[in-house]
Structure 1
């Protein structure tokens, strides 16, 4: 078996060693990256790149939707928000409306910031309880 690209191996290892919360944070970060790229492409009138990046953002939102724990009441609210965000991205893509992308960016940024806080609090609890949180 041939040697894999070391960077690719590092990336794979990085993903497989992350906690579910850290993976969720990575999804939010990726979504923000693709939304930013879509806005730049829209500004440059590059329809293909805009479309690709909006679709990548939608794929991330879809992943967030399917990984929700349906037994948690909050998940129903999150599912509704994710569905709304997805519809807004469809409209942004059709109408070339940067304001709709920015609206979704705002939601994703809030979710990301909340997840950062949750992870930070969890790590603090792990540290103060010796890993028995």
Structure 2
């Protein structure tokens, strides 16, 4: 299947060449954006629009769950449980048309996003190879 739209080809290439850290950040940003759109649609009583946006946020949470490396231990298991909770909470928010429930998920997503961004920044600001080498010599 070839991509004839140059913009679509550019976007696909951009996503495929992102680091894992940036891709996760992009997924968090997308989930937050769709939650905001869902809230805005709820306020306008556009329940079809709210449903569409919240389902897209749910899809992103599913993607995060499926691609989580559960072999790394307890942290991954807890993160999976948190993603699962947010997914189920959004389903209920969508059914009940509850802006409060959507906001609760957004608060959690924002905390995860900010933590992930900070952890990535810290990771990239240190040269761990040098530190390991120093520990061996010293």
- Deviation of 1:5 after TM superposition, in Å, equals 2.4
Q: Is 1:16 paired with 2:21? A: no
Q: Which residue of 2 aligns with 1:41?
A: 41
Structure 2 portions without partners, runs of 5+: 134-138
- Deviation of 1:122 after TM superposition, in Å, equals 2.2
Secondary structure in 2 aligned to 1:71? helix
Equivalence map 1:52-131=2 (5 Å) = 52-72=52-72, 73-126=74-127
Q: How far, CA to CA, are the matches of 1:59 and 1:20 in structure 2?
A: 18
Q: How far, CA to CA, are the matches of 1:3 and 1:34 in structure 2?
A: 26
What CA RMSD, in Å, does the superposition of the two structures yield over aligned residues? 2.1
Structure 1 portions without partners, runs of 5+: none
- Deviation of 1:79 after TM superposition, in Å, equals 1.2
Q: 4+ residue stretches of structure 1 with deviation over 6 A?
A: none
- Deviation of 1:10 after TM superposition, in Å, equals 2.0
Q: How far, CA to CA, are the matches of 1:96 and 1:61 in structure 2?
A: 19
Report the TM-score when normalising by structure 2.
0.86
Q: Which residue of 2 aligns with 1:26?
A: 26
Q: How far, CA to CA, are the matches of 1:97 and 1:3 in structure 2?
A: 39
Structure-2 change in CA distance of 1:8 and 1:128 (3 Å): same
Q: How far, CA to CA, are the matches of 2:126 and 2:108 in structure 1?
A: 27
Q: How far, CA to CA, are the matches of 1:103 and 1:35 in structure 2?
A: 10
- Contact 2:42–2:50 under 8 Å retained in 1: yes
| Bigger Cα Rg | 2
Q: How far, CA to CA, are the matches of 2:107 and 2:9 in structure 1?
A: 33
- Deviation of 1:96 after TM superposition, in Å, equals 0.7
